[in-house]
Amino acid sequence: MLMIALWCVSMGFSCSMSRVQTPSDIVRSSITDYTQSMECMTPEFLVAPVLCRAPVSGARMSRAGKGTEHGEKFYHLYVNDPGGYVATVMGEQDAPVGLTLVKESHYAKVVGVEAHGPTGTRAVRRPDGVSDLFVMMKIGEPDTPDTDMGWIYATASPLGEIESIGMIESCIRCHRDADHDRLFGIAP
């Protein structure tokens, strides 16, 4: 809790002694207006190399229709500290405490078919509505308890409702392979 309180103060959030903000409070305040308060590092849509999925918290109907491909999702990446982010993915430093990333994932809508060499055709996809938000927050040093090397992860609905937070195994499994302090970076 001390690390969260210190992070609150360093990020300019008000933290009263009577109630320290929880990780859920911090994530919720970060995603409330992320498109205005954070820098979009991807002015054009990028295609995610893997299909990120929010952990299932209950029974859900599959979004994929019978016989359709899951496909990659399109995304925009927002960060609260572009300089700290770039320095980290360039290998110049570890990510600064307080660095927050929001990956705004969009559905991939099939809009047509395109000829694709001797293997036949392929579906042409374009970004559609926001499907999920994926959040990474550096809340402490690598030895901070209950974190992934200082990071916590969160997933949220497009409306900002937090679906999961903390040590999310699917996030950790992927980000532990990143070259720079759990961050992959984006192509220049």
Question: Would you say 101 and 79 are in contact if contact means Cβ atoms under 8 Å apart?
Answer: yes
Question: Would you say residue 80 has pLDDT above 90?
Answer: yes
**Pick from 16-20, 113-117, 120-124: least confident:** 16-20
**Residue ranges per structural domain of the chain:** 2-8+23-56+70-175
Where does the pLDDT of residue 75 fall: very low under 50, low under 70, confident under 90, or very high at 90 and above? confident
Question: Would you say 8 and 26 are in contact if contact means Cβ atoms under 8 Å apart?
Answer: yes
- DSSP E strand boundaries for the chain: 39-40, 46-47, 74-79, 100-115, 121-138, 151-156, 162-166
Structure confidence by residue, pLDDT tens digits, 23-71: 888 889 888 889 999 999 988 888 876 656 665 443 333 343 333 333 4
Q: Which distant-in-sequence residues (6+ apart) come within 8 Å of 166 by Cβ?
A: 23, 146, 152, 153, 154
Distance of alpha carbon 170 from alpha carbon 51, whole angstroms: 11
